[in-house]
Structure 1
Amino acid sequence: MTDPAEAMARLDDRISRCRRCPRLVAWREQVAREKRAAYADEEYWGRPVPGFGPADARILLVGLAPAAHGANRTGRMFTGDRAGDWLFASLHRVGLANQAESVAIGDGLALHDVRMAAPIRCAPPANQPTPEERDTCAPWLDRELAILRPSLRVAVALGAFGWQAALTALGRAGWAVPRPKPRFGHGAEVVLPWAGRSGSGAGVVLLGCFHPSQHNTFTGRLTEPMTDEVLLRAREVAETMGR
């Protein structure tokens, strides 16, 4: 049997070299060349951003896409922007990360039983991927789920886009998605039983959380206690369901 860590490392490498979407390739590389003034002396990643976290995690966080001057700069999911600052601080408070700060690859950050992924691996212009780009990128999340399948127990969708992407990907991977599809909401919780025809898998609980964007956090739509509550629930479900 293939070691999950080795399989995930190979997948991460393949993701980081993808050039399938011309518009996204052009934009991510333009941003990396022109840079933001505050980061003028830094070398931008400027490539697709792979997932981050252990390959046998029981919890998967599903976001939207890398930020142009965040993960597109640092090369690590949710690293280098305020949304990431908010999220990692919460993960640390609930015991799912070893530190509250995420600055750059090599800063010592480690996630405990959590992996992060995005349906879109490249920073899109105006944070708006096209439907074609979404569909082109979807197989990467499918392959990530295939590696995580033996251990996965909880998926946390950050925002409505992440919710729809997670439901669709989990359905393709073999979990049974209720009909009609459950609607996104902060604190929403849906059980998806395993229904795949091949292999084995356990049920997955999908949780909804408002995305930690500046719009949501600055306006108070998403507070620290609200974020902590969802992540604590994810940890509780994962520990209850075991491996």
Structure 2
Amino acid sequence: MDAAHRPDAAGPEGLAGLDRRVADCRACPRLVAWREEVAATKRAAFADRTYWGRPVPGFGPPDARLLIVGLAPAAHGGNRTGRMFTGDRSGDVLYRALYDVGLASQPTSVSTDDGLRLYGVRVTAPVHCAPPANKPTPEERDTCRPWLVQELRLLRPTLRAVVALGAFGWQAALPAFTEAGWTVPRPRPAFGHGARVTLARTEGPLELFGCFHVSQRNTFTGRLTPEMLRDVLRTAADAAGLPR
């Protein structure tokens, strides 16, 4: 990664500048090869579409009070559209729930020009490239962590709550919180749906919530229902002080 595209590189434009540097990252050879192969071969249903095929930056306002942390972009979702949780069934579930609880302007997210706006919420992931079989390696997770750390630092003035979707997002985020200036309890808290942990900081605490991931496996089997997801989002929004 060259100096200009490091997550800690100086940039006057805050999150917008960070997002541009994220989109130019080529630090993980396996992920670069996979995302670009998917973008070239495409899925038959999207054969006439131009895929993004790059790292997918976070999405949402720079003064967000609530952050949602997923896993990584989907090969034919975010990797195709260029926006987190956009253009796939997992995103359909997430954005419908955000809309239902008053945190999104519309219930669908299909493309970057569809007019969707999030109200006080930002969506990101600890790994910004689509990984083979939806499974980043520990090395890829750790290589990508500085992007999340810098994102957290830039959100720090307003951020009051975080929802981690799935054990991977939870476990990947904990060391990022520490590096960004919050105190994570010892021993590290375990992931669970409905888990709530307070992370201390001089300027004020951050409330961390656990939620099962919005994967098709979880939603199709009923492990995560729309009401379960809405309940977590409502609780997190209230902790963040967001009007609904």
Return the match for 1:106 from 96, 100, 113: 113
User: 2:182 maps to what in 1?
Assistant: 175
Hey, what does 1:215 align to over in structure 2? 217
Tell me what 2:172 maps to.
Answer: 165
Structure 2 unaligned runs (5+)?
1-10
Q: Distance in 1 between matches of 2:177 and 2:98?
A: 23
Please give the residue correspondences for 1:42-121 in structure 2 after superposition, counting only pairs within 5 Å.
42-121=49-128
| Structure 2 partner of 1:134 | 141
| 1:233 maps to 2:240 | no
Root-mean-square deviation (Å): 1.4
What are the superposed Cα offsets for residues 74-122 of structure 1, whole Å, 9 maximum, x if unpaired?
Answer: 0000001100000000000000001000000010000000001100000
Q: What is the rounded CA distance, in whole Å, between the counterparts of 2:107 and 2:12 in structure 1?
A: 24
Per mean C-alpha deviation after superposition, the further-off stretch among 211-220 and 166-175 is: 166-175
State how far apart, in whole Å, the 2-side matches of 1:202 and 1:173 are. 14
Q: Report whether the alignment pairs 1:18 with 2:28.
A: no
2:5 equivalent in structure 1: none
Label 1:5 to 1:95 Cα distance change in 2 as closer, same or farther (>3 A). farther
Local SS of the residue matching 2:13 = helix
What's the offset of the Cα at 1:132?
Answer: 1.1
**Percent identity of equivalent pairs:** 65
Partner of 1:198: none
Kindly indicate whether the alpha-carbon contact (under 8 Å) linking 1:187 and 1:230 is maintained by their aligned counterparts in 2: yes
Q: What are the Cα deviations for residues 129-178 of structure 1, in whole angstroms up to 9, with x where unaligned?
A: 11111111111001101100010100100000011112111111111111
1:149-160 equivalences under 5 Å are: 149-160=156-167
1:183 and 1:65 map into 2 onto residues whose CA distance is 20
SS in 2 for 1:80: coil
Alignment partner, residue 206 of structure 2: 204
| Runs of 4+ off more than 3 Å | none
User: For residues 210 and 102 of structure 2, what CA distance do their matches in structure 1 show?
Assistant: 19
Alpha-carbon distance, 1:5 to partner? 9.6
Aligned residues: 233
What's the offset of the Cα at 1:37? 0.1
Q: What's the secondary structure of 2:197's corresponding residue? A: strand
Corresponding residue for residue 3 of structure 2: none
| AA partner of residue 226 (structure 1) | M
TM-score normalised to the size of structure 1? Answer: 0.93
Instruction: Please give the alpha-carbon distance, in whole angstroms, between the structure 2 residues aligned to 1:5 and 1:51.
Output: 18
Secondary structure of 2:16's counterpart equals helix
Name the TM-score, length of structure 2 as normaliser: 0.93
